[in-house]
Amino acid sequence: MTQADPRAEHELLLLKGGTELFPAMVEAIDAARFEVMLETYIFDFSRSALSIAQALEAAAKRGATVRVVVDGLGTGDVPEEWCLRWAAAGVRWRIFNPARGWRLLVPRRWRRMHRKLCVVDGEVAFCGGINLLDDHHDPNHGELEQPRLDFAVRVRGPLVGDVHDTMTRLWWRLQAARKVGKGDPEGALAAVRAAARAGVEDPPYPSRLLGGARAALVLRDNFRFRRRIESNYRVAIAQARREIVIANAYFIPGVQLQRALLRAARRGVKITLLLQGRYEYFMQFHASRAVYGLLLDAGIEIIEYEASFLHAKVAVMDAPQGALSTVGSSNLDPFSLLLAREANVFVRDDDFAAEMMGHLRHAIAHQGRRVEPDAHAARPWSTRALNWVAYGLMRFALMVTGLKY
């Protein structure tokens, strides 16, 4: 089990919600001279997220290469109006693993592209958990009184080259699959070769070295980095001596991650989990509560966020070499850690960690409800049954895929 080695010389900006992320992305895209690459799980072509679609269109019209990848389940089809507008402007886009109806019953269709990444001219990158979706709108629950809680980070520095490489690889793999589907084996072979070259050749627009923060891009995919995000969490938890705060939308830790948290609690580390308090999806809501008891018995504090939907996937903890924090797309559940393409930035910087901790402490103190161990233990039998049915369904789904968690 190894941890990614953060490199120095990064300039980082923590962004809270789409209200901060979208203007920052539009500013970067509007300044693009050569290339914009974007990946997202949900691209909602309405309200505040519409500014991103418009900026991409304008960049392509200026002559920049613009490539967009959206997930086939999270986004589905690009609306016809934007298909026409983007095609006219020269925006190129692909849909990752399209899935509809009965096809969702096929396990290989469960693999998703859950990353939220953007890189502009190889100079600035964005990574986080924020979908291109208005903070006050939920696709399943409608209008939200309070904005969704989520974070992203803007990065300048050597990590930008890593973002560019991984996005380029995925693009050319999707191109290869498309060529195969069209019966063009020579085109598919050329795309595979292009994907192999990504990360070997220098990025076309080298990143400038700015600032002093140490940071690393940590990926999770189904080929090279199957366990890397989880491993980095476990190593970081093992290093903590005083405090760990984790905010995670869908928190269903596997056995090894549970053990890492329990060992830290036995060492006297104060652990606080800020988790989803509102009902969003049956399986995630109830299955997460099936593991509450084990954590509460160890003295781990659980706060359920109730002001709105929690969508954050962030953490802050102390470490001998400086505070460590992470911002990204990966939930700590089997769907993220075993089935989805994910991307997190791990940062070793006291100032960045302090800023993140400030946001989390405010949410814990003013927007959450503490789960009392006695009240959880005394919950009705019907609630317990739902918790364990959901947990059992999740385990059965994993058994079907042949994956261990």
Residues 361, 274, single domain; the answer is yes
Residue 350 amino acid letter: D
Residue 130 in tokens: 């924020």
Question: Are residues 162 and 259 both part of a single domain?
Answer: no
73 lies in the same domain as 183:
yes
Task: Say what the pLDDT of residue 80 is.
Answer: 95
Is the same domain home to 239 and 303?
Answer: yes
Q: Which amino acid is at 276?
A: Q
Does 267 fall in a domain? Answer: yes
Does one domain contain both 251 and 278?
yes
Q: Is residue 208 part of a domain?
A: no
Shared domain check, 190 and 230: no
| DSSP sequence for 162-224 | HHHHHHHHHHHHHHHHHHHHTT-HHHHHHHHHHHHHTTTSPPSSPPP--S-EEEEEEEE-SSS
Residue 204 included in any domain: no
Among 60-74, 76-90, 167-181, 188-202, the minimum mean pLDDT is found in 188-202
401, pLDDT greater than 90: no
How many CB atoms within 10 Å of residue 207?
24
Residue after which a domain boundary falls, among 142, 162, 197:
197
d(CA 334, CA 353): 26
Res. 1: pLDDT tops 70: no
Residues 84, 125 share a domain: yes
Q: Are residues 150 and 122 in the same domain?
A: yes
CATH number of residue 43's parent domain: 3.30.870.10
* 155, 170, 197 - which closes a domain: 197
> Two tokens at 318?
């102390």
Tens digits of per-residue pLDDT, 362-396? 999 999 999 999 999 999 999 999 999 999 998 88
Residue at 229 is within a domain: yes
Q: Which of the 8 DSSP states describes residue 43?
A: B
3-class secondary-structure state, position 328: strand
Contacting residues for 280 by C-beta, under 8 A, at least 6 apart: 140, 141, 309
pLDDT level of residue 230 (50, 70, 90 thresholds): very high
Buried b (16+ CB within 10 A) or exposed e, 317-352: bbbeeebbbbbbbbbbbbbbbbbbbbbbbbbbbeeb
Q: Are residues 165 and 219 in the same domain?
A: no
Residues of the chain above pLDDT 90, percent? 76
- Name, in order, each residue with C-beta under 8 angstroms of 167's C-beta and a sequence gap of 6 or more: 37, 39, 67, 69, 117, 119
pLDDT at position 201 is 47
**3-state DSSP call for residue 316?**
strand
Residue 395 lies in a domain: yes
Distance from C-alpha of 159 to C-alpha of 271, rounded to nearest angstrom:
29
Q: Are 161 and 122 in contact (CB under 8 A)?
A: yes
- Tens of pLDDT, residue by residue over 59-99, are 999 999 999 999 999 998 889 999 999 999 999 999 999 87
305, 363 Cβ separation under 8 angstroms: yes
Contact status, residue 9 vs residue 210, Cβ threshold 8 Å:
yes
Q: Are 24 and 90 found together in one domain?
A: yes
In a domain, 319, yes or no: yes
For residue range 101-152, list pLDDT tens digits in order: 666 666 667 789 999 999 999 999 999 999 999 999 998 899 999 999 999 9
Q: How high is the pLDDT of residue 59?
A: 98
* pLDDT confidence of residue 223: 74
Please indicate, yes or no, whether residues 138 and 42 belong to a single structural domain of this protein: yes
- Is 267 strand, coil or helix? coil
Neighbours of 380 (CB within 10 A): 8
Report the mean per-residue pLDDT for the chain.
90
In a domain, 2, yes or no: no
Q: Is residue 205 part of a domain?
A: no
- Which of 127, 124, 125, 123 is CA-nearest to residue 204? 123
**pLDDT per position as a tens digit, 256-313:** 999 999 999 999 999 999 999 999 999 999 999 999 999 999 999 999 999 999 999 9
Whole domain around residue 72: which residue ranges? 7-197
Same domain? For 126 and 224 the reply is: no
Total domains, the chain: 2
C-alpha 234: how far from chain center:
17
